[in-house]
A and B are shown apart, each in its own frame.
Chain A
């Protein structure tokens, strides 16, 4: 006989509907203006002190992310050039791709012309020392220019560069800039037994969705194929290539992982309940919880972090268990009656909600906006899931037939046969697992490097590494930010810092910054004074030694035409500065950027020490800062969770009394073993592992509560609830272990191991002696 829902049940369900409508209304109202903050860098605290540095980091990042380049190699430069042209032709017209360049506009001579009238003031550090040493060194230098084969002196020729310093300055400059050299209107680099020419482009806008990404990737592939068809070897470098691979993988995985877990999940729920209405209901609490939570977070204002959506909705997954706990009344001996079932499990549900709110509410204590938002989201979401179970389920699940006798019997037998805590099998199993876990813990490493979160494509990384080795371009994202309103002071600070870096790592090219091209006025005037003192006697000595009348005055005229001081303004306005203008940021708070040279092995601490005592100078390491912040979030997550766990333990101790261990042991076993598995798998402990641990804490405690709170024949139902809950979560998250994205793999692995251990050990704490299905 079908039971009719009571009036109260109907009213509550109606109330639930209203609540959801309101939440949907809020969502619809805020959705048009909603911007999800997906940049990881948005998690960084705002740099109140130096917004100009943050702006520079942002500009550099955008610049780096928008650039892409290909190196096209062949043993013959003509073939490489032809292949480069074939590739460039294919790049033109790709969506969002602009400024495709295979050929230089001026052959690189404009810069050469620009420096001519300033050339005598631009000296390499070695030449500065020689000039200061006096006329004798100048005479020697001139004799080298005159008597050595043109190139061995490093001079551009006696007429324009009698002392060879101009040629040597250019050489030093090129070392700092990288290995690319202009030749016949193209940029070339030699290496690996080939000559390589550069084709560069800028990506104006990144693809918006998967299909646009596929179009772009196919376009790049076709361009590479065209170059290879023309005989060239193609190396790619650029952020976008990695992004496209990640997008393709994510799409493929989302398909596979989504399908596998959906099929397994549905199959599992069907096997458990054999009622489609029950299967459908299982999903409602989490969906309703997420809706309510999103609305609440939107109402609270501020940016909505992607991290909140991902982490928050995962944590709300705990709410699935509330509904399951109610629905597993289908496994009770009596015919299913939701009101009676609710009365039986009410205490357990209350306890589960309170402990979860305590556990995740602790996230509010973290002084990090994103983490507090995750806390708010998960608490609201759990509340929504809980309300759904209490208000909607009695009405919506009324009239369901209890599970088929055979299914109930076989599950009851399984539950009965499961080894109990204290039995030999359980002890032996626990000791083995704990030993394995301890071994894993000993291998556990903490690493918050952002790059570890992304999937690596070996082929792409190999190409990128070869490009870097060939190009030798400085700039791995780290730099020195040199502030100060006075441009000359910034140039002087750069020079001091460059000298310090050179002293730390002699033999490397000089650090790249504007002062390399435009020395400070002070340095230029010092050089001019050096020439004024040393040149006349040196010129006279040369004239006498060579017996060439008029040589001295010619030398003086040559040098005089090259001693016009160079200003940053003139340099910035010239074509010579084009590739380097990003190193000089104007504005209210101007900033100069100095990049450590390619090949520098100095670590962050050494670089930070190098700029100590220089006013307005600071070392900036955006990736390092992001890793540090993720580490900070991870630590706060762990601390607040520990605090929450203590509070939860206290509440449980008070309510459960002696059987508290049945709730606590599975939880801690789950956390301990899952982190051990992380160590064994060689994956680092990071924020994502922390999220998974949070979920294990929430679910593990609930498993324990449900089992310990079940009384009078309700045990089979409780075991059924946690078994279905754990198995469905294993189906949903376990597949993530097979993801190629390390971040997802970490979540998947920690959750699978943790939930499985918490579930199986909670089963072992089921009360002994009670016979089910009798």
Chain B
């Protein structure tokens, strides 16, 4: 639901790199496919240790996001216009099964507005606050406007230089996640595996 809308924002803003917070309209990537690696640390209330994961992601412009965890275990999900999918390695490549069917319209809609550089979509979902940052970098705080979403996620922080390098989000119950991105790579076509994960 709305939480998924947040995903789109987090990932898209992350992956397509906010060059400067004031110029969100300049963040669109010219390529159809963007890949990279991620490392996530989650600090959960009631857990003695932080949960760490890493893996690779793929963003297909106008299509959706594929997120593959490699460590500590292999697991993947894909979100696109038709739903949220669990992606698993099969004998003939990646295979997907529905976690949640249906129109993810607002999600992909938000993602696309970001990709086409429409600041309006971001602004209407989040309150944007620009924070101080070292020279050559920027920091942006996003507060959800949606009352229900705000009960789940209290704030998001994006940080980067040429691209987004770090996303941190605070959940309302005190949980906190930080994701770092790297090894960006752009291409014109998805690999057959990636295409399979998107159901093509």
Contact = CB atoms under 8 A, between A and B. Distances in A.
Interface of A: 74-78, 107-109, 112, 124, 126, 140, 143-144, 146-160, 167-168, 170-172, 174-175, 179, 181-185, 188, 190-191, 193-195, 472, 506-509, 546-551, 554
Nearest to A146: B51
**Which of A76, A158, A170, A508 gathers the greatest number of chain B CB atoms within 10 Å?**
A158
B146 interface: yes
Contacts of B11: 149
B1 interface: yes
A112 B42 CA distance: 25
B167 to A, nearest CB: 8
Given A126-B101, A182-B147, A183-B125, A170 B177 contact: no
Contacts of B121: 190, 195
B120 A160 contact: no
B42 A171 contact: no
A548 B113 CA distance: 41
Contacts of B197: none
B148 A182 contact: yes
B119 to A, nearest CB: 8
Contacts of A547: 49
Given A76-B120, A175-B102, A154 B4 contact: yes
A711 B6 CA distance: 92
Contact of A172 (B47, B53, B86, B100): B100
Nearest to B8: A151
Interface in B157-176: 169, 171-173, 175
Contacts of B173: 157, 159-160
B148 A149 contact: no
B120 A109 contact: no
Contact of A107 (B103, B147, B152, B171): B147
B190 interface: no
Contacts of A155: 3
Interface in B37-64: 40, 42, 44-49, 51, 53
A171 B4 contact: yes
A97 to B, nearest CB: 28
B99 A183 contact: no
Contacts of B106: 179, 181, 190
Interface in B1-45: 1-8, 10-11, 40, 42, 44-45
B110 interface: yes
Interface string B73-104: 10101010010101000000000001111110
A509 B11 CA distance: 26
A108 B149 CA distance: 11
B146 A183 contact: yes
Contacts of B148: 108-109, 112, 182
A188 B125 CA distance: 10
Contact of A151 (B7, B46, B48, B146): B7
B36 to A, nearest CB: 14
Contacts of A546: 47, 51
B1 A150 contact: no
B57 to A, nearest CB: 10
A158 B44 contact: yes
B198 interface: no
Given A75-B120, A147-B40, A507-B82, A154 B99 contact: yes
B67 interface: yes
Contacts of A171: 1, 4, 100, 102
Contacts of B147: 107-109, 182-185
Given A150-B3, A154-B84, A184-B145, A168 B99 contact: yes
Contacts of A172: 100-102
State the main secondary structure of chain B at its contact with A: mixed
A144 B151 CA distance: 20
Nearest to A598: B103
B118 interface: yes
Contacts of B171: 150, 157
Contacts of B153: 150
B124 A76 contact: yes
Contacts of B105: 179, 190, 472
A171 B2 CA distance: 8
Interface of B: 1-8, 10-11, 40, 42, 44-49, 51, 53, 65, 67, 69, 72-73, 75, 77, 79, 82, 84, 86, 98-103, 105-106, 109-110, 113, 118, 120-121, 123-125, 145-148, 151-153, 169, 171-173, 175, 177, 179
Contacts of A126: 98-101
A188 B105 CA distance: 13
Nearest to B69: A147
B7 A149 contact: yes
Name the 9 nearest CB pairs between A and B, nearest first: A151-B7, A77-B124, A107-B147, A75-B120, A171-B1, A170-B1, A175-B102, A147-B53, A151-B6
Nearest to B149: A183
Contacts of B1: 154, 167, 170-171, 174
A771 to B, nearest CB: 82
Contacts of A157: 152, 171-173, 175
A153 B79 CA distance: 10
Given A152-B65, A167-B1, A554-B46, 15 more contacts: A77-B120, A77-B145, A146-B51, A149-B179, A153-B77, A159-B44, A171-B4, A179-B106, A183-B125, A185-B147, A190-B109, A190-B121, A195-B120, A472-B105, A551-B47
B103 A149 contact: no
Nearest to B124: A77
Contacts of B175: 157-159
Contacts of B2: 181
19 contacts: A77-B145, A109-B148, A126-B99, A143-B73, A143-B75, A147-B53, A148-B67, A150-B3, A152-B4, A154-B99, A156-B3, A157-B175, A168-B99, A172-B100, A179-B105, A181-B146, A188-B124, A191-B109, A549-B48
Contacts of A75: 118, 120
B76 to A, nearest CB: 10
Given A76-B124, A179-B106, A150 B6 contact: yes
Given A154-B3, A156-B3, A149 B177 contact: yes
A175 to B, nearest CB: 4
B102 A147 contact: no
Contacts of B46: 159, 548, 550-551, 554
B124 A109 contact: no
A144 B75 contact: yes
Nearest to A76: B120
A151 B118 contact: no
Name which of B4, B72, B173 has the most chain A CB atoms within 10 A of its CB.
Answer: B4
Contact of A168 (B47, B100, B118, B179): B100
Contacts of B109: 190-191
A193 B118 contact: yes
B4 to A, nearest CB: 5
Contact of A184 (B42, B73, B102, B146): B146
Nearest to B78: A152
A159 B45 contact: yes
A152 B7 contact: yes
Contacts of B177: 149-150
A152 B42 contact: no
B183 to A, nearest CB: 18
Contact of A109 (B73, B113, B151): B151
A151 B82 CA distance: 16
B73 to A, nearest CB: 7
B114 to A, nearest CB: 12
B123 A76 contact: yes
Nearest to B171: A157
A160 B151 CA distance: 11
Contact of B47 (A74, A76, A190, A548): A548
B173 to A, nearest CB: 5
A168 B2 CA distance: 10
A75 B25 CA distance: 13
Contacts of B75: 140, 143-144, 147-148
